A and B are shown apart, each in its own frame.
Chain A
């Protein structure tokens, strides 16, 4: 499961969903794997305003990943500075910046393969196996 998914996940228990402490879920005993994917600059730019930046930073920290910038990047940060400023108006292929590459690596290529996702509100643990998180609840929590 790619880390970007955590931006859209919370606890499946109804009473938790409205509690701020249920977001984000906390990875525990996580085995990470890099699954390479093609970097898609427009996709990154479009997804940028949807990111709960502080929460993503805290998840990255919990997983022991290299620190992300403290302030959320803006679209312009995703583009590499052109080598020759006179060529910028050509509308040619734009190159991703290091920030874009880092973001792509963390959000779309870093995957939790095994481990748990833990709710900070009720403490329920959701298992991740073979890269698939399972949110089915035991009967008493439904």
Chain B
């Protein structure tokens, strides 16, 4: 491993992995609604297709289609303990840069809100490549397609979101996660000045709460497609959905 790669790994261990391990159960309680494009992609897969969910978190996408078989992996043991419940799928703890799958195994793969946690350009491209590596290769005759991956990353351009980031802003940011202190239940009063779209627990800190910072690289327009190309993939479809850039891509036929 090169020096900058080691530094990247150490940095992510501190500013990504350990945070998710700490906030796993609270994070999971806020992540249950599948995003429409991910749902559509999973439902489009033919019955019996075999896929991977790289960075599956609490496994919310494992509930979408029970006619396929998905091996979900995540770096956080605590999130995998939550993801485990989804039959007929399987879950395991693994690093997305060292996935324990034979090359060319899967018909499809999803990588949802994962690649933006890698802290250097080279590591992000390596992470995309790792997804392509486990996908079925296209046949050289062209008679059979390669496997397909759906990749989702957070967008820099989201000026209407409560974060308000936009073109020209810094792309490498630390984003807070507030772990709420458990309080006795009282009717909740709306505080003045808090906009209504504040996701409970994600930003506002009050006494006794603990704030964790997670590292993100915010993708600007076209950057995801570029990373995919550098990783040896071909984009078949891409777009923007609710503060995120997404792309569907296949490994190149070489």
Contacts and interface: CB of A to CB of B under 8 A. Distances in A.
Interface of A: 1-2, 4-5, 8-14, 17-18, 23, 37, 40, 42-43, 45-47, 49-50, 108, 126, 130-137, 139, 142
A108 B81 contact: no
A142 B1 contact: yes
A133 B93 contact: yes
A2 B90 contact: yes
Given A130-B81, A132-B92, A136-B93, A8 B67 contact: no
A113 B216 CA distance: 35
B53 to A, nearest CB: 12
B101 A132 contact: no
Interface string B48-71: 111000000000000000110101
A18 B91 CA distance: 23
A108 B88 contact: yes
A5 B71 contact: yes
B118 to A, nearest CB: 14
B94 A136 contact: yes
Given A14-B98, A40-B88, A4 B93 contact: no
B87 interface: yes
Contacts of B239: none
B103 interface: yes
Contacts of A14: 98
Contacts of A126: 100
Contacts of B101: 8-10
